[in-house]
Structures are given as C-alpha cells and as structure tokens.
Amino acid sequence: MVDGVLLLDKPVGPSSQRVLGHVKHLLGAKKAGHAGTLDPMASGLLPILFGEATKYAAQGLDADKTYLAEICLGARTRTGDREGDVIEQALVPALDRAQVESVLVKFLGQSLQVPPMYSAIKRDGRALYDYARSGEEVVREPRSIRIHALELTRFHLPVLEVRVVCSKGTYIRTLAEDIGAALGCPAHLQSLRRTGVGPLQAPEIVPLESIEQADSQGRLRFLKPVDWLIRDWPEVVIDAAATERFFHGQTIFCSGHSPLSQCRVRDESGEFLGTGRIDAAGLLHPSRVRSLHS
C-alpha cells in the first residue's frame, strides 16, 4: 500500500483527473484522489492523496485557495478564459494602478457569484458545460463565496496580475469577468496558477517531471505523511493499551486534556493512528482510525 500526500505542481494542459491517473500509475498506488480540481489551462498546487491520506481529502477540498491570476482586459470569451472564442471586444479605458486597486477592494468579503456555464456543476444530471457546448444557456443559482485577499501584483495594461485568496467554490474566470466589468470593459482569464491550498504553499510542490524521472523508491520519497493536510490540528499521544482500544473504536480517558472538537492521535513512538475528539469529561472518541495494514 502507498500512503501519503504528494504536493504536485500540475502543468498546463492535462486535466486534474488525467494527472491523478498518471501519477497513481507511476507510484503503483491502489487508491488515490486529489484535494481540489484545477482546470486544464491552470497550473500549480494539486495535492494528490494516496491510501490512508484519502480519508482527509475534505480538508483540502474545503480549504481556502490562493491563486495568481492574469486578467486580460478588452475581450470577453465564451468560456471566460483564453481558450474560448472571443464574443465581445472593447477598448481598454485609460486606467492607472490606483483606479484598479480601488475597484479590487470592492470585491473583498462575502458575495454571491453566478457559476459559469463552462463548469462541471450538474443540472438535471448533466454538467453545465454539456449544455454550453450544445449552445444552451440555463439558469444558475448564485453561490456564496468569500474573497479574503485580492492584491494587484503586476500592472501592465491590458493585463493585470492579481493574487487571490478565496473560499472553496470561487470561479476565478467569473471573478476576472466581473473585475473587467467593474473597470468598464470586457475581460477574460489569461492564465491561472494555484499557489496555496489552506496551509499548503507553493515552495513545497514537486514538478511532474521530477516524479516521472525518479525511480520507484525516489518517487515515494516525495510523499508527505498521511496526516499532512491536518498537521495544524492539536495532537494527542496515547500509550500502547489505549492504542489497542483506539483501533477498535473504543473511547479512551485522556487526563489533563481540554475538550477538543478535532485532534490528531499518535502512539508513544510518534506513529499517526487517526483522528478523534475529546469531550468535556476527558474522553477521547475515535473519528477516523488508520487501517491496520498501514
């Protein structure tokens, strides 16, 4: 069994699912998943989870995301990004940096965003992009999103580069179009790179080429521990007798611990056992227990 987390630098071009399948094959893993899809035109951090680590995929899927996005002003496309046909063009206003920054501030905080037609959201069992490809437009319900940070990192008209920290489910293509509209012209997403998923940041990521060029043992050395996505959770250490009870899903009394809604559990040797919670009576309740094969 292959267990652990690979912080992969997804290249532009292939889909997240295709990259997942390729890397799963390279590592000879039986079970794998990823913690947050990237469009084919996007690059950057794609956490790939193997074996026991897949139990914690939600921590990546639900986490805030950080992106570097290039927005091209002056043209709107059918897909909202550079891969779609241009459907509207206009002159770019004579903007200065201060004007752009004053508009970006207005997008901070919580708002409602209408998902794009070219998305995988299902409507009556069909993905929205299926409707879009057949020329159909359907009504989409606005979704609540939150923009935590929106910083202008490069200003070179007609292209703006922005750093975005946002909640899950935020479509950066739609954000690019909305920013353009607020600046008085059509716009589309020219490039997108994800640099963070929750606490996971770009300096730790591994290029796909490095995985492909390594031997079988070298590939395994790129893996982070199973609990990497939850490494900021409080840690509880239990003895051998308690470990046996934990593996059987039984509650354990943990003296000296305050109540915890979620915690990582380790044995005295430092081995990760799973997750749990501690109630007001000091009882540790197992939540997710690591399989004995690992």
- pLDDT 10s digits, 90-125: 999 999 999 999 999 999 999 999 888 777 777 777
Closest to 224 in 3D by CA, of 14, 35, 11, 39: 35
Tell me, yes or no, if 96 is annotated catalytic.
no
CATH code: domain 4-62+200-220 is 3.30.2350.10
Q: How confident is the model at residue 36 (pLDDT cuts 50, 70, 90)?
A: confident
Q: Beta-carbon neighbour count of residue 33 at 10 Å?
A: 16
Per-residue pLDDT band for 294 (boundaries 50, 70, 90) equals very low
Tokens of 279: 């109630």
Write out pLDDT tens, residues 227-285: 999 988 999 999 999 999 999 999 999 888 889 999 999 999 999 999 999 999 999 99
The superfamily CATH assigns to domain 233-289 is PUA domain (2.30.130.10)
> How many helices (H) and strands (E) would you count in the chain?
8, 19
Quick one: which of 101, 47, 42 has its CA closest to 225?
Answer: 47
End-to-end CA, the chain = 7
Q: State both tokens at 144.
A: 């609540």
pLDDT surpasses 90 at 199: no
Topology alike, domains 4-62+200-220 and 65-197: yes
Q: Record the pTM.
A: 0.89
> Does domain 65-197 fall into CATH 3.30.2350.10?
yes
**Which has the closest alpha carbon to 42: 193, 196, 202?**
193
- Following DSSP, what letter does each residue of 64-99 receive, concatenated? -EEEEEEEEETEEESSSBTTSPEEEE-PPP---HHH
Conformation bin of residue 98: beta by default, left when phi > 0, alpha when psi is -120 to 50: alpha
**pLDDT tens readout for residues 73-98:** 999 999 999 999 999 999 999 999 99
The first and second tokens of residue 203, run together, are: 């300096």
Residues 6+ apart with CB under 8 A from 16: 10, 34, 37, 38, 46
Q: For the chain, what are the domain ranges?
A: 4-62+200-220, 65-197, 233-289
Question: Which residue out of 39, 81, 178, 227 is catalytically annotated?
Answer: 39
